C-alpha cells in the first residue's frame, strides 16, 4: 500500500510541504479545494491559498523545527492542522490537514452561553463553600485549605475577566504541570462532602509520570466536572468508592491517562451514548453542559475521553492527554 493511496482515502484536503511551506504533494481533495492540479501546486507556497499567510508559514516552520503538532488553527471557514511528516524516522516536511470549521454552539444562543457560564462558576463556588464549612467545623487555621480557597477564587476571577475565552477552546495557556497536583487540588475542594457522605477515595498514581504541558485551569475544570459526576453517582449507593488512577497509556502511545472509576448508579446504554452530548442531563437542575465542556477541553489538548458504564455497577471515565504539547 502506497502513501498516496492512504492520502487519497483521507476525507479532507491534505498537503505535504517542506520545512519552508512549499508544497511537495497534495491529495485529490486538496486539488479540488485549491482548484489547481498537483503539477501546478508542487513547489508553490501553501500560504498562497489561504489568508493569514505569514501565520501559516510560521506554524509550518514551528511544526518542522520543534517537532510539534499544531491543531485547530482557524483560517476563515477552515481549521488547519499541522504535524511533522516522517519518512523512515526522519522529518521530511510537514503534513497539513484542512477541515471545515464548525460553528460554536454558543454563538447563536446567548441563553445557552449564560447557562454554561453559570455552570462553570457554580463548580468552584461549591468547592469554596465546602472548604469554608470545614473551616467552621475545625475552628483552626489550615494552610492547605486556605491555598485551595485562594486558588479557586483566583480561578473565578480569571473566568469572569475573560468570559469569551471561557468558551473559546482554541486559546489555551500551555505550561508544564504535575497532573497529580491538579487531581488532588480538585479532590480537596470536596473534602467536606466526601467525609460527610462517607465516600472512600483510592489513589492509584504512577509516581514516574513526568510533568506535561497543559492549560492548568482548563484541565482542572474538566477533571472537576467528571469528579463531581462520580461523587453524585456514589452518594446514595451502598458501596461508596471512587478510584483515581494515572499511568502511561499503551494505546495510544505517547499519552498519559487519568482514570476515574466509581461504584455508583451507572448508566444504561442510551444514557451512556448521550453522556458527552451537549445539553443532555438526567439531573433536575443540571444544564447538561459539564461533561460536554470537559470533553471539548480534553480534545483541544489533543486528547480524548472514553467512558464505560453499567447500570447499577458504576462508571469509568478515562482521560487521555498527550505527553507532548499538541
State pLDDT tens for residues 43-66: 999 988 887 778 898 999 999 998
The CATH architecture annotation of domain 3-100 reads 2-Layer Sandwich (3.30)
Q: Could you report the per-residue pLDDT of 220-231, keeping only the tens digit for each?
A: 989 999 999 899
All structural domains of the chain with their residue ranges = 3-100, 110-322
Specify the pTM: 0.53
CATH architecture of structural domain 110-322: 2-Layer Sandwich (3.30)
Distance between CA 239 and CA 237 in Å, rounded?
6
CB burial readout 127-161, b (16+ within 10 A) else e: bbebbeebbeeeeeeeeebeebbebbeebeeebee
Q: Please give the helix or strand (H or E) that residue 124 lies within, else none.
A: helix 110-138
Residue 220, class by beta-carbon neighbours within 10 Å (0-12 exposed, 13-18 middle, 19+ buried)?
buried
Strand partners, 80: 73, 98
100-150: per-residue pLDDT in tens?
Answer: 876 544 444 445 555 556 666 766 777 777 777 777 777 777 777 777 777
Task: List, edge to edge, every strand of the sheet that includes 255-262.
Answer: 200-204, 241-248, 255-262, 314-322, 304-310
What is the Cα–Cα distance from 119 to 82, expressed in whole angstroms? 33
Q: Which residue in the block uniquely carries the three cell numbers 468547592?
A: 127
Amino acid at each position: 500500500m502506497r502513501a498516496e493511496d492512504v492520502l487519497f482515502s483521507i476525507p479532507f484536503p491534505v498537503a505535504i510541504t517542506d520545512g519552508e511551506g512549499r508544497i511537495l504533494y497534495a491529495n485529490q481533495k486538496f486539488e479540488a479545494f485549491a482548484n489547481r492540479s498537483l503539477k501546478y501546486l508542487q513547489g508553490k507556497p501553501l500560504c498562497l491559498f489561504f489568508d493569514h499567510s505569514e501565520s501559516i508559514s510560521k506554524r509550518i516552520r514551528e511544526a518542522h523545527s520543534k517537532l510539534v503538532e499544531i491543531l485547530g488553527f482557524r483560517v476563515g471557514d477552515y481549521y488547519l492542522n499541522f504535524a511533522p511528516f516522517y519518512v523512515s524516522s526522519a522529518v521530511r516536511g510537514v503534513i497539513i490537514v484542512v477541515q471545515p470549521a464548525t460553528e460554536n454552539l454558543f454563538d447563536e444562543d446567548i441563553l445557552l452561553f449564560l447557562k454554561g457560564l453559570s455552570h462553570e462558576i457554580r463548580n468552584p463556588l461549591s468547592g469554596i463553600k465546602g472548604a469554608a464549612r470545614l473551616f467552621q467545623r475545625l475552628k483552626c487555621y489550615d494552610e492547605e485549605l486556605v491555598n485551595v480557597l485562594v486558588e479557586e477564587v483566583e480561578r473565578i476571577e480569571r473566568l469572569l475577566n475573560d468570559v469569551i475565552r471561557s468558551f473559546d477552546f482554541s486559546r489555551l495557556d500551555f505550561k508544564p504541570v504535575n497532573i497529580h497536583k491538579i487531581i488532588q487540588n480538585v479532590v480537596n475542594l470536596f473534602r467536606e462532602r466526601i467525609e460527610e457522605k462517607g465516600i472512600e477515595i483510592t489513589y492509584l498514581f504512577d509516581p514516574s509520570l513526568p510533568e506535561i504541558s497543559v492549560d492548568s485551569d482548563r484541565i482542572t475544570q474538566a477533571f472537576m466536572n467528571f469528579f463531581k459526576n462520580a461523587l453524585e453517582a456514589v452518594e446514595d449507593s451502598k458501596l461508596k468508592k471512587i478510584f483515581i488512577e494515572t499511568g502511561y497509556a499503551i494505546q495510544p502511545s505517547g499519552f498519559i491517562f487519568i482514570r476515574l472509576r466509581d461504584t455508583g448508579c451507572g448508566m444504561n446504554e442510551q444514557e451512556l451514548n448521550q453522556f458527552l452530548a451537549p445539553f443532555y442531563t438526567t439531573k433536575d437542575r443540571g444544564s447538561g453542559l459539564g461533561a460536554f465542556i470537559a470533553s471539548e477541553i480534553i480534545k483541544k489538548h489533543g486528547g480524548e475521553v472514553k467512558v464505560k458504564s453499567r447500570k447499577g455497577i458504576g462508571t469509568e471515565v478515562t482521560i487521555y492527554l498527550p505527553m507532548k504539547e499538541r
